């Protein structure tokens, strides 16, 4: 009996020892990799380490947000410019239609004058023949007067017949003179109408050239608008995918998108200047300067009556032109060409403040101050 009790105690002790061993080698898992005990006995976990790329991502996100804002602003400006282009195109189209109607009217007038000239010339030819016949009867046949007397019943009848022949000759000569005067007037009218027609044809050519240039500019600006829309979408996509790319990749992408943005902004400015050049062309058609700064009592005009603009004001591809604003090369004047000896007049009344010569750019120049801060050279 004692042996059985001792065996039971021994088994119980072994089970207790085994249970203690199990609890010691298989503890409850900790919620964090490196737990620490607090003063109150609770287990705490340290904060995870900060992502070293987070600041770069935040900076890029802000940068791309600014790019989106600028691109949208440029897109709005381009849209407004396209609206202006459309209005200008309507104006040009209306002017072309009006000019074509005027030319058709002049051509009709010239055609009618040609008919009148032809009819008048035919009448003159007939009168010349009749006058020649009368002249031959009176002057080239001196014996015809005596024959007329011999054939007449009396001297009075012969004199009346002779007088009638003379009067008929005088009337024929007067009619011929009047017809020739009418012919000269008709020819002068035709020459004037032809000069008007030539001038209006030149105006129509200018209008069509401006319309063609404007439509080309509109096509370029519309292309810029489409590319800006695509750029905004690309920037927005890049902004949402920042966390999926390494910072150096997103930085390179941001730089690429910004370069595209700057290029599109530059192109939008250039097309705006192209529109300004179309405005200069319209001003030439209308024979007046574009509306600009208004000075009380000051009206500017072109310095020559007839000329050709060889280089307009604005951005230039000439490498010798200096930079200005966002443009690498900028032409700060309007170059005009005319035949040698063409008089050059002042744009308005003013005071000559400088006369000189430069080897670069202007050559011989005269600077005239017009008041109100306006000067021309």
Cα–Cα distance measured from residue 81 to residue 91, given in angstroms and rounded to the nearest whole number: 15
Cα–Cα distance measured from residue 7 to residue 184, given in angstroms and rounded to the nearest whole number: 157
The predicted pLDDT at position 288 comes to 46
The predicted pLDDT at position 240 comes to 75
Q: Indicate whether 65 belongs to any domain.
A: yes
Ranges in the chain, pLDDT < 50: 1-26, 28, 37, 141-142, 288-294
The predicted pLDDT at position 326 comes to 63
3-state SS, 249-303, equals HHHHHHHHHHHHHHHHHHHHHHHHHHHHHHHHHHHHHHCCCCCCCCCCCCCCCCC
Cα–Cα distance measured from residue 332 to residue 193, given in angstroms and rounded to the nearest whole number: 40
Q: Indicate whether 165 belongs to any domain.
A: yes
Question: Residues 174-182: contacts with CB within 8 Å, 24+ apart?
Answer: 175/127, 176/124, 176/127, 176/128, 176/131, 179/120, 179/123, 179/124, 179/127, 180/124, 182/120
Q: Indicate whether 2 belongs to any domain.
A: no
Q: Indicate whether 348 belongs to any domain.
A: no
- Using alpha carbons only, what angle is made at residue 98 by residues 93 and 102, rounded to the nearest 5 degrees? 145
The predicted pLDDT at position 292 comes to 46
Helical spans, DSSP H, in 140-290: 144-151, 155-240, 247-286
| Cβ 324 vs Cβ 341: under 8 Å | no
How many structural domains is the chain composed of?
A: 1
Cα–Cα distance measured from residue 376 to residue 323, given in angstroms and rounded to the nearest whole number: 21
Token representation of residue 12? 């119980």
Q: Indicate whether 336 belongs to any domain.
A: no
CATH at 266: 1.10.287
Cα–Cα distance measured from residue 248 to residue 66, given in angstroms and rounded to the nearest whole number: 19
The predicted pLDDT at position 3 comes to 38
The predicted pLDDT at position 347 comes to 79
Q: What is the pTM of this model?
A: 0.46
Range of the domain at 285: 61-289
Tokens 């200018």 correspond to what residue? 206
Q: Indicate whether 43 belongs to any domain.
A: no
Q: Indicate whether 275 belongs to any domain.
A: yes
The predicted pLDDT at position 211 comes to 78
Token representation of residue 126? 């007939």
The predicted pLDDT at position 44 comes to 58
Q: Indicate whether 41 belongs to any domain.
A: no
């Amino acid at each position: 009996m004692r042996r059985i009790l001792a065996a039971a105690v021994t088994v119980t002790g072994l089970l207790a020892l085994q249970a203690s061993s199990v609890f010691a080698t298989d503890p409850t898992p900790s919620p964090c990799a490196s737990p620490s005990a607090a003063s109150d006995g609770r287990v705490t976990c340290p904060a995870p380490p900060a992502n070293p790329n987070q600041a770069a991502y935040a900076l890029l996100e802000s940068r791309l947000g600014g790019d989106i804002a600028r691109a949208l602003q440029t897109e709005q400006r381009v849209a407004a410019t396209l609206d202006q282009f459309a209005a200008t195109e309507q104006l040009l189209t209306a002017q072309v239609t009006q000019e074509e109607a005027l030319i058709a009217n002049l051509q009709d007038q010239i055609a009618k004058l040609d008919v009148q000239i032809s009819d008048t010339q035919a009448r003159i030819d007939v009168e010349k023949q009749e006058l020649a016949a009368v002249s031959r009867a009176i002057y080239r046949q001196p014996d015809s007067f005596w024959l007329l007397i011999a054939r007449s019943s009396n001297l009075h009848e012969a004199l009346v017949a002779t007088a009638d022949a003379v009067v008929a000759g005088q009337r024929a000569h007067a009619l011929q003179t009047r017809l020739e005067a009418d012919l000269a007037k008709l020819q002068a009218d035709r020459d004037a109408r032809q000069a008007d027609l030539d001038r209006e044809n030149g105006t129509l050519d200018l209008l069509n050239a401006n319309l063609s240039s404007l439509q080309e500019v509109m096509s370029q600006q519309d292309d810029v608008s489409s590319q800006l829309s695509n750029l905004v979408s690309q920037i927005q996509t890049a902004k949402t995918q920042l966390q999926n790319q390494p910072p150096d990749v997103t930085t390179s992408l941001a730089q690429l998108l910004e370069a595209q943005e700057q290029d599109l902004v530059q192109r939008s400015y250039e097309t705006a200047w192209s529109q300004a050049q179309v405005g200069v062309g319209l001003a030439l058609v209308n024979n007046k300067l574009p509306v600009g700064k208004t000075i009380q009592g000051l009206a500017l005009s072109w310095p020559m009556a007839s000329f050709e603009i060889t280089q307009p004001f604005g951005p230039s591809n000439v490498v010798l032109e200096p930079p200005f604003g966002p443009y690498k090369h900028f032409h700060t004047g309007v170059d005009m060409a005319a035949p040698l000896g063409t008089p050059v007049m002042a744009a308005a009344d003013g005071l000559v403040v400088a006369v000189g010569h430069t080897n670069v750019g202007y050559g011989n120049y005269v600077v005239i101050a017009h008041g109100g801060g306006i000067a021309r050279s």
